[in-house]
Amino acid sequence: MLILGLETSCDETACAIVKDGREVLCNIVASQIKTHEQYGGVVPEVAAREHLEAINMVIDEALKQSGKKPEDIDAFASTVGPGLVGCLLVGLNAAKALSLVCNKPFIGVNHLQAHVCANFIDTDLKPPFLCLLVSGGHTQIIKVEDFDRQEIIAGTIDDAVGEVYDKAARLMGLPYPGGVMLDRLAQEGNPKAFKLPEARVGKDEFSFSGLKTAVLRLIQSMEGKELPVKDIAASFQETVSNTLLNKTLALAEELNYKTIVLAGGVAANSELRRKFFAQAENGYSIFAPQMKYCTDNAAMVASCACFNPIKSNEPLNLEAFSRD
Ligand code: KG4
Ligand code: ZN
């Protein structure tokens, strides 16, 4: 089963061709970072226009790199939501059009499910497992009982982790996109330099707004002095990664899960990966997508089309949605 997937939910225009959900033949990502850098964040209308300009190019490039023709493809998939609706429409309509022209099925995919499925690429991972999903818009712990049987058992009551990374980075004066920059600086800083608060919330809740305020106060208290950005970054990263690890481990232990899986853009974070992979010593089986499949990409969309598509009798009538 050869699936061509498209992803246009935010600021990457991506196309990939994946065999049987696990083997990536090609993975093309056109990033809009350069465009949005000047605004310090994604401008939805600008992003949609850029998707429109890039979509044919990424599809052509994917076919070229894989040596496949449109008629070799068994199904065309795209992200349906959640995401920016104007952006989603570009990939969604392109995939539907390809499906109609080639007379092959169209498969709709949920963006969050696609992040989870990034873990199936190049592995033999199968449910059941516990998944920590951390992206720019979501922070969830999901019980994945089967490919299409899942339950969200913890979530954030305010900001998502990626969002907090980006906001903290902006407070520290780092350029967009902040998360990855902050991670890079943190690796050279002292994680014990500053004590930042971990939120006291329920075992099924995350909260990061207090941490964000603490970073702001810390920076304000140093006004006029040169900011020790590496130490602030490392202390911030230490607090966030401890919070995510401790919550996930507590639920894994309570529910008796021995396999823990990371997903979403923040799964690319160096310290988060280090802390989770270290749990192998405690008898856990730890999975995280390869770096290129952590942040938004289309390989995870094609994989998800294979393992956990949006169920619909009339997939061509699926409409883009902004929120889950
Ligand atoms: O999954 P993703 O590509 O897009 C969404 O679906 O939201 O995640 C993007 C988020 C951004 O907030 C970005 O700052 C964060 O992931 N991110 C990171 C790292 N790489 C990306 N955060 C911390 N450390 C990283 N290395
Ligand atoms: Zn994403």
The pLDDT value given to residue 177: 84
Could you tell me the pLDDT band of residue 304, with boundaries at 50, 70 and 90? Answer: very high
Give the binding-site residues of ligand 1, using a 6 Å CB cut-off: 10, 115, 135-137, 162, 165-166, 177-180, 183, 264-266, 268-269, 295-296
Ligand nearest to the CA of residue 208, numbered in listed order:
1
The mean pLDDT value of the chain amounts to 97
CATH topology identical between 2-118+295-317 and 125-289 = yes
Tokens standing for residue 198: 């971990």
Task: Of 31-45, 245-259, 261-275, give the lowest mean pLDDT range.
Answer: 31-45
The pLDDT value given to residue 97: 98
Distance 303 CA to ligand 2 centre (A): 14
| Per-residue model confidence as pLDDT tens digits over 80-114 | 999 999 999 999 999 999 999 999 999 999 999 99
The pLDDT value given to residue 284: 98
Distance 135 CA to ligand 1 centre (A): 5
Beta strands in 89-148 (DSSP E): 106-110, 129-134, 139-146
Average pLDDT value for residue range 273-288:
98
Helix (H/G/I), strand (E/B), else coil: 125 = coil
The pLDDT value given to residue 40: 83
| Tokens 């996109």 found at | 177
Of ligand 1's listed atoms, the one at least distance from the Cα of 270 is 26
Could you tell me the pLDDT band of residue 319, with boundaries at 50, 70 and 90? Answer: very high
State whether CATH 3.40.1450.10 applies to domain 2-118+295-317: no
| Per-residue model confidence as pLDDT tens digits over 234-243 | 999 999 999 9
Task: Answer yes or no: are the C-beta atoms of 114 and 304 closer than 8 Å.
Answer: yes
Ligand nearest to the CA of residue 266, numbered in listed order:
1
Of ligand 1's listed atoms, the one at least distance from the Cα of 12 is 3
DSSP string, 154-181: EEESS--HHHHHHHHHHHTTPPSSHHHH
Where along the chain do its domains lie?
2-118+295-317, 125-289
Share of the chain above pLDDT 90, in %: 95
| Per-residue model confidence as pLDDT tens digits over 108-159 | 999 999 999 999 999 999 999 999 999 999 999 999 999 999 999 999 999 9
Q: Supply the DSSP symbol for 18.
A: E
Residues near ion ligand 2 (Cβ under 5 Å): 135, 296
The pLDDT value given to residue 39: 86
pTM comes to: 0.97
State whether CATH 3.30.420.40 applies to domain 125-289: yes
Mutate to test the pocket of ligand 1, among 183, 266, 291, 304 (most ligand atoms within 8 A of CB): 266
Nearest to 183 by CA among 308, 95, 249, 267: 267
The pLDDT value given to residue 34: 85
Helix%, strand%, coil% for the chain, nearest 5? 45, 20, 35
Of ligand 1's listed atoms, the one at least distance from the Cα of 163 is 12
| Per-residue model confidence as pLDDT tens digits over 210-229 | 999 999 999 999 998 999 99
Tokens standing for residue 295: 């942040």
